[in-house]
Structure 1
């Protein structure tokens, strides 16, 4: 799980979060020599960009627009070290610094690298995840406005369809030989949304630091590292509730590649 998705129930004295549907959007835009991937959800807003010459990564640029913890922006340093690496190896190298970097930054940088190789001009993913009264989760993904994936998840596994029985946690390994590359990418994007969606059960403003909710959690991202989490102070008042407001993230994008 991610730093927020690890915890699904508030502890003693903590208020419950808003519940309801979690929404997340990823927008990929490209121009010659620069590929951008922007992500926004209830908890985060990152803009990442990869500058390249068609074969080599020249620079990785990350803007932390809105983050749950005050230390999140510092995680960009690990990914900036990808400059000078071959574009074709970039996503694999990015994965190697997963815990030293931010999970969400890494996801977007890996997408930007992949789509730089494809020269994608624009691609939009929209996701909505909501738990029903029976505890089962419905997770939907729309690509460029068209429905693409619609999962029912019970006890951590997808039910029905070509991914029947696949664990959301183990999806990268279990689904690799079941899906075409473009569908596997979409499934990975939706997987992240499912794994973070449970954090809506928490009011994060009740926790002064990431360490206050993560002492017993594995270090799955930068702000959960043992040496970081107790000084990863909460950025209070930063959570949004897109589904309750009847709107989608990235309605006001930060800009286009230049």
Structure 2
């Protein structure tokens, strides 16, 4: 059965008083890296790399990540969206920065997420998420509504999911739910041939979807890959970079 897959790897060097966090994300559509330098409980430098993107102008979004500099250490990954206008950022780079910062805030040295979402059939799928090799979430989803298990029953994946998760779940479970939610929603792209779309939509939800640049953000033909049977290839080329440090 075909799967959408995403892997996120995070490595922390030093600590939040003097340290650096490196994070990599790869899935069927994207491959990004984010590096944050930390000093005195704040982000002092933020850098991103766009290694594989769905649209040509996605690469220009890497400059926007610098806007999170001077953000204080955050215990909750989703709080990074309050540090800048998320609509003007690459969604996936900003998510990755939030996860990296929360990992460092918890005093961890590394974090690994792996998600899989089977191809939807008649609107139904069963996404799963592993953290550091242990399965932590497994949902039954019908038409973008989580049907089971509790406490997620009848929870829509769309607008309002983030605020509900933060209000009702512990911070680590809420973080995991946001990771799996993102994967479940974007996996719907596997149901159509994205290469037939000539440019980004002007929906205003991220950097390339802003009306002033969406038409010029051309589709990168062939950028969608299939990792259904080769999960270990995800982030494989990032391992040496993750273990490096500038501190």
The Cα RMSD (Å) is 2.1
User: TM-score under structure 2 normalisation?
Assistant: 0.87
Equivalent residue, structure 1, for 2:157: 168
* Distance verdict in 2 for CA 1:133–1:78, change over 3 Å: closer
Q: Give distance in 2, aligned partners of 1:226 and 1:79.
A: 20
Name which of 51, 62, 65 aligns with 2:37: 51
- For 2:222, the equivalent position in structure 1 comes to 237
Contact 1:156 1:168 in 2 (8 A): yes
Alignment partner of 1:38 out of 21, 24, 29: 24
Give a deviation string over 1:165-216, Cα, whole Å, max 9, x none.
Answer: 1111122122223321111111111111011000112222222211xxx25x
1:4 counterpart residue number: none
- 2-side partners of 1:68 and 1:186: how far apart? 24
**Equivalent pair of 1:25/1:248 in contact (CA under 8 Å):** no
Q: Secondary structure at the match of 1:220?
A: coil
Question: Structure 1, unaligned stretches of length 5 or more?
Answer: 1-18
Alignment of 1:1-258 (within 5 A): 20-32=2-14, 33-88=19-74, 92=79, 94-95=81-82, 96-160=84-148, 161-169=150-158, 170-210=160-200, 214=201, 218-245=203-230, 247-254=232-239, 255-256=241-242, 257-258=244-245
Provide runs of 4+ in structure 1 moved above 3 Å.
Answer: 88-96, 131-134, 244-248
CA distance in 1, matches of 2:165, 2:176: 12
Q: CA deviation at 1:108?
A: 0.4
The answer on whether the counterparts of 2:74 and 2:80 sit within 8 Å (CA) in structure 1 is: no
TM-score (normalizing by structure 1): 0.84
Structure 2 residues not aligned, in runs of 5+: none
